[in-house]
Amino acid sequence: LWTLAGVVAIETMGGPTIPWKPGRKDKPESAAPPNGRLPDAEKGADHIRQVFGRMGFNDRFVMLTKQEWSEKKLENGLLQYKDKNDRIMMLPADMAFLWDPGFKEIVDIYAKDKQTFFDDFAAAFGKLIDLGVNREDEDAKL
């Protein structure tokens, strides 16, 4: 239900419609991967690519899913890629999106084109919440 709540919240706040399927099974905490497999906010672009790359994700996917915070609460979209006050208040992992040429190119695209951002975000978030789900097994049991 957490993923459904997330999908509904994003759409309710004016974000895109994200495909969602029921059927993900709860697992005991002991089945969770060990700590330390998530990106470290103190590190830069190479670290981010390493963490997401081992799951087969490209720079665009990283850009769309690695958004831990935004100054504008309860908003989704272009404002997270624009700083109206020209202030720098970001972590090294966030700054990698501006300093790294590959990430910067994607930032510029999303800052200018809301529909492209929404289309790509919906696809990436849908893929993220389905990560690790064996749909062949799950669909057969529904």
Q: 126: closest CA among 24, 21, 9?
A: 21
Question: Residue 82 pLDDT more than 70?
Answer: no
Say which range, 28-32, 48-52, 96-100, has the weakest mean pLDDT: 28-32
Mean pLDDT computed over 64-75: 59
- Three-class SS state of 69: coil
Q: Directed axis angle between helix 114-129 and helix 2-12, to 10°? A: 170
Taking domain 2-26+39-133, whether its CATH number is 1.10.420.10 is answered by yes
| pLDDT tens digits along 19-49 | 888 877 777 888 776 776 777 878 888 888 8
Which pLDDT does position 112 carry in this prediction? 92
Which pLDDT does position 140 carry in this prediction? 44
Which string of b and e fits 31-51 if b means at least 16 CB within 10 Å? eeeeeeeebeeeebbebbbeb
Beta carbons within 8 Å of 114's beta carbon, 6+ residues apart: 77, 78
pTM (predicted TM-score): 0.69
Question: Residue 12 pLDDT more than 90?
Answer: yes
